[in-house]
């Protein structure tokens, strides 16, 4: 059975877009343009350092040089995207960066494989030998090639375990640990680029630029993924203040600690939480703030979906936690109009409940849940809606005859019937991937520009 229940509703208020949170952010288009410009620079490096190409061996070796340079550049970008640089993260959003990272990873592995094949084949033609013999010669006799071969194997292995089919079979902690092999692979392979790359031999400017690229990315990773989280953990010393059940299998945890306001966490953002308790300390998982930071307290809400999240319900007040962040772009910084539609599915209500309380303008919330028992924060949501004049629709279950997993209620006609001026709204979506995809597809058909659809998946 399904029901759509509006809350107590006051006249909607209009207002200006939300003020931008502290700190600058880089627009996704600017980031992509910068990456493309760097790629063009790599191609220019090859072009200016290449004389006339003659014969099949020359063409193969030249193509191998191009793919090698692009592979080296792509590997650096691969790491940069996951360095958790705040300006990049706040601009593009963590899940978009993760998708770009995955795409860059596939490109990098393809380029590395192509580079190895073309260079080996080209050298084999030059020396009039076979490919297998030339492979052995390259690995054994050329500088840094043994380490490079090990790095090559690690990079390919990381790509294999990152494939969707393989990743589904691995625990998150196992996949994450194996993924760290990427750093070792890039370190081992870096030196042969400068030792053997014709484009770097005798070209001091190119060598300095390559060192700056890799050194800069390494510094960003060290700072934002190691030193900043370490400093944050030591300074704020977060502890669990209280645990409260919100719905069956869903609990909220409240955290306190000194100087929490310095985190500058924004409604809609998430942190990676590491519980310093037996069996939990070794992994960090992303959970959104389910309420705006208030009075030195942070709140997250967790649904039991595995051993790690299930254990949260039994944590005792006083338990120490380590939080990295805040991260994410599902915030008011990207709001462009004074009308907002929030679409939540299941526990995806957590960041949207915080946004419901803080985003300015006229707000409508559609909250999709399978059962009445799974509706979390109902009392809070109704109170906020009544106070600020928002409209909330609880959509529970599904109509008779509607197949499970269908796109209902996310159909363009249904959405525009509820909001005739939907095309003028900013839309924030958070929920299971299937639901989010259906909602976004329907919203696009109503005329809402892609730039005003804001979505992040936290299954990272």
Which of 259, 267, 344, 364 minimizes the C-alpha distance to 19?
267
**Pair 366, 5: CB distance under 8 Å:** no
Residue 51 has pLDDT above 80, yes or no: no
Backbone angles phi, psi at 52, to 5 degrees: -60, 135
Residue for token digits 């599902």? 330
Question: Could you write out the DSSP letters of every residue in 374-419?
Answer: G--SHHHHHHHHHHHT-EEEEEES--TTPPTT--TT--HHHHHHH-
Which of 90, 73, 83, 84 minimizes the C-alpha distance to 34?
73
How high is the pLDDT of residue 105? Answer: 87
Confidence bin at 9 (pLDDT 50/70/90): very low
Spell out the domain ranges in the chain: 3-19+331-455, 28-232, 237-327
Q: In the chain, pLDDT over 70 holds for what percent of residues?
A: 88
Average pLDDT over residues 398-425: 75
How high is the pLDDT of residue 20? Answer: 45
Average pLDDT of the chain is 84
Answer yes or no: CATH 1.20.120 is held by domain 28-232.
yes
> Each residue of 196-241: pLDDT tens digit?
777 777 788 888 999 999 999 999 999 999 999 999 989 999 999 9
How high is the pLDDT of residue 369? Answer: 87
Q: In the chain, pLDDT over 90 holds for what percent of residues?
A: 40
CATH topology identical between 3-19+331-455 and 237-327: no
Token pair, residue 165, equals 């089919």
Confidence bin at 297 (pLDDT 50/70/90): very high
* Count of other CB atoms within 10 angstroms of residue 110: 15
**Pair 335, 97: CB distance under 8 Å:** no
**Length reported for the chain:** 460
How high is the pLDDT of residue 172? Answer: 64
Residue 171 has pLDDT above 70, yes or no: no
Residue 12 has pLDDT above 50, yes or no: no
CATH of 237-327, one of 2.40.30.10, 3.40.640.10, 1.10.540.10, 1.10.3720.10: 2.40.30.10
Average pLDDT over residues 23-39: 88
Residue 159 has pLDDT above 90, yes or no: no
Q: Which fold has domain 3-19+331-455?
A: Rossmann fold (3.40.50)
> Each residue of 380-394: pLDDT tens digit?
999 999 999 999 999
**What strands lie across the sheet with 270-275, from one edge to the other?**
285-288, 270-275, 321-327
Residue 460 has pLDDT above 50, yes or no: no
Say what the pTM is: 0.80
Residue 340 has pLDDT above 90, yes or no: yes
Strand 321-327 vs strand 270-275: parallel, antiparallel, or unpaired? antiparallel
């Amino acid at each position: 059975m399904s029901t759509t229940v509006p809350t107590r509703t006051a006249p909607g208020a209009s207002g200006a877009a939300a003020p931008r949170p502290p700190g600058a952010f880089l627009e996704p288009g600017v980031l992509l343009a910068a990456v493309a410009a760097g790629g063009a620079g790599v191609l220019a490096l090859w072009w200016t350092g290449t004389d006339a190409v003659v014969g099949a061996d020359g063409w193969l070796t030249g193509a191998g040089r191009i793919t090698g340079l692009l592979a080296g550049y792509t590997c650096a970008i691969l790491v940069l995207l996951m360095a958790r640089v705040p300006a990049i993260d706040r601009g593009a959003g963590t899940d978009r960066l993760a998708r770009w990272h995955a795409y860059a990873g596939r490109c990098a592995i393809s380029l590395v494989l192509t580079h190895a094949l073309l260079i080996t084949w080209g050298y084999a033609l030059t020396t009039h030998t076979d490919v297998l013999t030339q492979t052995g010669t390259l690995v054994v006799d050329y500088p840094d090639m043994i380490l490079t071969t090990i790095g090559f194997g690690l990079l390919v292995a990381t790509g294999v375990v990152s494939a969707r089919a393989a990743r589904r079979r691995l625990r998150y902690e196992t996949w994450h640990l194996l993924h760290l092999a990427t750093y070792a692979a890039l370190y081992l392979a870096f030196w042969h680029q400068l030792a053997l790359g014709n484009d770097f031999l005798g070209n001091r400017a190119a060598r300095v630029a390559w060192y700056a690229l890799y050194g800069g990315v390494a510094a960003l990773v060290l700072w934002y993924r190691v030193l900043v989280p370490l400093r944050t953990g030591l300074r704020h010393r977060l502890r669990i203040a209280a645990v409260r059940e919100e719905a069956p299998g869903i609990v909220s945890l409240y955290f306190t600690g000194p100087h929490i306001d310095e985190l500058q966490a924004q409604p809609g953002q998430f942190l990676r939480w590491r519980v310093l308790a037996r069996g939990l300390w070794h992994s960090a998982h992303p959970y959104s703030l389910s309420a705006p930071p208030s009075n030195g307290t942070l709140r997250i809400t967790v649904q039991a979906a595995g051993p790690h999240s299930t254990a949260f319900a039994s944590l005792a007040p006083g338990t120490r936690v380590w939080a990295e962040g805040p991260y994410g772009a599902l915030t008011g910084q990207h709001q462009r109009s004074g009308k907002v539609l929030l679409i939540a599915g299941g526990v995806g209500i957590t960041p949207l409940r915080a946004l419901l309380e803080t985003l300015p303008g006229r707000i409508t919330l559609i909250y999709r849940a399978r059962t009445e028992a799974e509706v979390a924060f109902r009392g809070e949501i109704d109170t906020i809606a009544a106070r600020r004049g928002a409209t909330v629709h609880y959509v529970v279950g599904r109509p008779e005859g509607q197949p499970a997993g269908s796109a209902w209620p996310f159909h363009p006609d249904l959405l525009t019937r509820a909001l005739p001026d939907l095309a003028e709204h900013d839309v924030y979506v958070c929920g299971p991937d299937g639901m989010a995809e259906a909602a976004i597809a329907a919203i696009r058909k109503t005329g809402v520009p892609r730039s005003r659809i804001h979505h992040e998946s936290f299954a990272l």
